[in-house]
Every structure is written in structure tokens, then in C-alpha cells.
């Protein structure tokens, strides 16, 4: 699948991995629809994406909807907007990248986690992925792919990541469940530690890993993605 004349939805699309992926797919000629909690940031991101699309002469558009993924009705509005935005009358790729981290990364042990922080990690990073995929399903085109950003903290024994690690493990389990129970390709992509607000700016430049998502959406075989966690090494081997 090529991204030209496709529609891509990115939650958390105003910063970090989400914004980098939105820019990368726009450069490939996709119609991009971003959602995030901050309405002003959504407007600014859409303007930046429109400028990229205009400079590339792509026959595509950028759209944004203020979206809190903790609210399934917000997500419903986002995917309904996306389904009407592009040339395919549906959605071809979904990247549920919205996420939060309450506290200092690596310094939030589970035995000290406030209930409020644990609940919001789960609602945003776990249930938010569920809601995004669940609401998108009715609008997915044949061959659509859902690519859930993840990290080693979801699987490895790393102290100090508490409720955030639990929520990322939940997101991976949600992806596996949809991969098993639907006909769509649903998988997780692990770009390693990326410099975002969630990591206090530590890690790789988000732009440097956006290609992993473009590759997974286009060139990777469905069997390689579906129900699996795919990392940087697999992408680099495939594209070297």
C-alpha cells in the first residue's frame, strides 16, 4: 500500500511521535487527520501540515479535531471526520499515539502510585487505545492497518515506571486482542526511547523514527505486523 490517496488518523498528533508521524505521512501524500486535547495545538499542527502538503504539491489535506481519547464520543467525532476527509471514504491507517506520563520517568514506582495517576495512565494510554481502535473499526477500509506506539517498558522489568508501564502493557494487549478478533492488521511499533515530553526530552529525535511507521503502513508484510511488536532493528534490516 502506498500512502498517496489514503487517509491516516493520528491521535496525540500535535507533539512527539504523533506529530512526527503525521508529518511523515503528509510528506508521502496522505490526507492526515490529527486529534489531541489542546485545541490550539491542533490548529497549529494542521497549519504546519497544510504547509508541508502545499510544498509537496500533494493532492491531500490536513484536518484536526480536538480530541480527548479518554472520551469515546470525542474519538467517535474524530474518526467520523477522518472517514469523510480523504479520497477513500474511510480510514486506511490509524496511529493511536496519545499518551501521558504523570511524574518523573523512572521515578514513579507502582507501590507509591497515587490512584489518580494510575487511573489516568490507564484511561489515556490503555483505554484510549481501545477507544481509538474500537471507534475506527466501522470506518476502516480493506487492508487498513492500526499501528500502536509502544516501548520496552511494557514488557521488561524496569523499576520506577509504575502505572505508566502497566498502561503500555495494556495497550499492547489491546492491540493483540483486536488483531485476533478482527480482519484488520493491528500491531505495535517500538521505536525505542524517543525524546518527548513523556521522557523529559531524553532519547532519539521523533523525526528519526517516523519512518518506522511509514514502512509498517506500506511495505511491511501484514503477517509481520499483525499481533506483533516490531522494533527499529526489523525496520532497519528491511530497508537497508
Q: Give residues with Cβ within 8 angstroms of 230, minimum separation 6.
A: 187, 188, 189, 190, 212, 216, 220, 224
Q: Which residue has the cell 493491528?
A: 186
Fold for 7-239, please state it: Rossmann fold (3.40.50)
Given a contact cutoff of 8 angstroms between Cβ atoms, the answer to whether 215 and 231 are in contact is no
Helices (H), the chain: 16-27, 39-55, 72-85, 115-121, 128-136, 162-181, 206-218, 222-225, 232-239
**What share of the chain has pLDDT > 70, as a percent?**
95
Enter the pTM of the model.
Answer: 0.95
**Reported confidence tier of residue 57, pLDDT bands at 50, 70, 90:** low
In the predicted model, is pLDDT for residue 164 greater than 90?
yes
**89 has pLDDT over 80:** yes
pLDDT in tens, 124-152: 999 999 999 999 999 999 999 999 999 99
Q: Report, as an integer, the average pLDDT of 210-239.
A: 96
Residue 146 main-chain phi, psi, to 5 deg:
-115, 125
Amino acid at each position: 500500500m502506498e500512502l498517496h490517496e489514503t487517509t491516516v488518523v493520528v491521535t496525540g498528533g500535535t507533539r512527539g511521535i504523533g506529530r512526527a508521524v503525521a508529518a511523515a505521512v503528509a510528506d508521502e501524500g496522505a490526507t492526515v487527520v490529527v486529534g489531541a486535547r489542546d485545541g490550539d495545538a491542533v490548529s497549529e499542527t494542521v497549519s504546519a501540515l497544510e504547509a508541508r502538503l502545499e510544498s509537496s504539491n500533494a493532492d491531500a489535506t490536513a484536518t484536526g479535531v480536538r480530541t480527548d481519547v479518554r472520551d469515546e464520543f470525542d474519538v467517535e467525532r474524530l474518526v467520523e471526520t477522518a472517514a469523510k476527509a480523504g479520497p477513500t471514504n474511510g480510514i486506511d491507517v490509524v496511529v493511536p499515539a496519545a499518551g501521558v506520563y504523570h511524574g518523573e520517568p523512572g521515578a514513579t514506582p507502582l507501590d507509591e502510585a497515587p490512584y489518580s495517576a494510575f487511573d489516568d495512565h490507564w484511561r489515556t494510554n490503555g483505554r484510549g487505545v481501545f477507544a481509538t481502535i474500537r471507534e475506527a473499526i466501522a470506518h476502516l477500509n480493506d487492508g487498513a492497518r492500526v499501528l500502536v506506539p509502544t516501548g520496552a517498558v511494557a514488557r521488561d522489568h524496569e523499576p520506577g515506571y509504575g502505572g505508566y508501564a502497566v498502561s503500555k502493557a495494556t495497550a499492547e494487549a489491546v492491540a493483540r486482542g483486536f488483531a485476533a478478533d478482527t480482519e484488520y492488521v493491528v500491531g505495535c511499533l517500538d521505536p525505542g526511547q524517543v525524546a518527548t515530553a513523556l521522557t523529559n526530552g531524553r532519547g532519539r529525535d521523533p523525526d528519526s523514527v517516523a519512518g518506522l511507521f511509514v514502512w509498517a503502513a506500506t511495505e511491511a508484510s501484514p503477517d509481520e505486523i499483525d499481533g506483533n511488536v516490531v522494533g527499529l532493528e526489523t525496520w532497519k534490516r528491511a530497508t537497508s
